[in-house]
Amino acid sequence: MRIALASDHAGYELKELIKLRLYDSGHEVVDFGTDNAERSVDYPDMGRPAAQAVVRGNCDRAVLICGTGIGMSIVANKITGVYAALCMDGLQAEYSRRHNNANVLVMAARLTGLLLAEEILNRWLETDFEGGRHARRVDKVEIG
């Protein structure tokens, strides 16, 4: 799977660890930045292009990381066709895929340790969308 990956400065360290885990699992990673934790950057500048890569078909899914996950969630969900889910545990990650067909995972670097982040990532990547009654509900989101 080709995964877009992005973070602001607060999420940089977790992004780099997630990147290694993705590579180790055989995924291709497209890193949209940032490239360090020392220089402050604005989360929309990193998150928007990564989320757009999913909608444009350049990447299959995206993982976005900022301090609380809230900023990245907001910016990603402004893009038509993005279903971004801020997940704080494995169950949320699983159900964001199973019932909501989330194509963007958002994580909170300041609130999520590495072991939990790995569980969230793995469950999100390994879970398929169930479709059926859930597809009807997801379709209603597009309608507005």
Active site residue 59: no
Q: Does a cis peptide bond (omega within 30 degrees of 0) precede residue 80?
A: no
Look at strands 28-31 and 84-86 and give their pairing: unpaired
- The residue type found at 87 is C
Q: Which of 9, 66, 87, 134 is catalytic?
A: 66
Tokens, residue 126 = 């390994």
How distant, in Å, are the alpha carbons of 31, 44, 97, 122, 132 from that of 51?
12, 10, 16, 19, 25
Tokens, residue 95 = 């159900």
- The residue type found at 109 is A
Tokens, residue 110 = 């300041």
Active site residue 99: yes
SS3 107: strand
Tell me the catalytic residues. Answer: 66, 99
